[in-house]
Amino acid sequence: MKLEEIKEIAKQHSIKTGKLKKAELIRSIQLAEGNIACFETGQAAACGEAECLWRTDCN
């Protein structure tokens, strides 16, 4: 997903995007949605969230 699309999602959750990097922004969105902030933390194989919006970009 492109950064501009991620920023739009963040705005929907009232998250100030500022100078946040992509991974930081996605983790902020995950927290705002009540999920574990696990994007790019090396937990992709064990997180169990196969339907996660960020899954294809996650490591």
pTM of the prediction? 0.86
Please give the Cα distance from 37 to 10 (Å, whole number). Answer: 14
- Report CA-CA distances (Å) from 21 to 7, 45, 50: 10, 23, 24
Which pLDDT tens digit goes with each residue over 25-49?
A: 999 999 999 888 899 998 877 887 8
Which domain covers residue 7, as residue numbers?
3-57
Give pLDDT, residue 55: 85
Number of domains in the chain: 1
Give pLDDT, residue 32: 95
Q: To which residue do tokens 């937990």 refer? A: 43
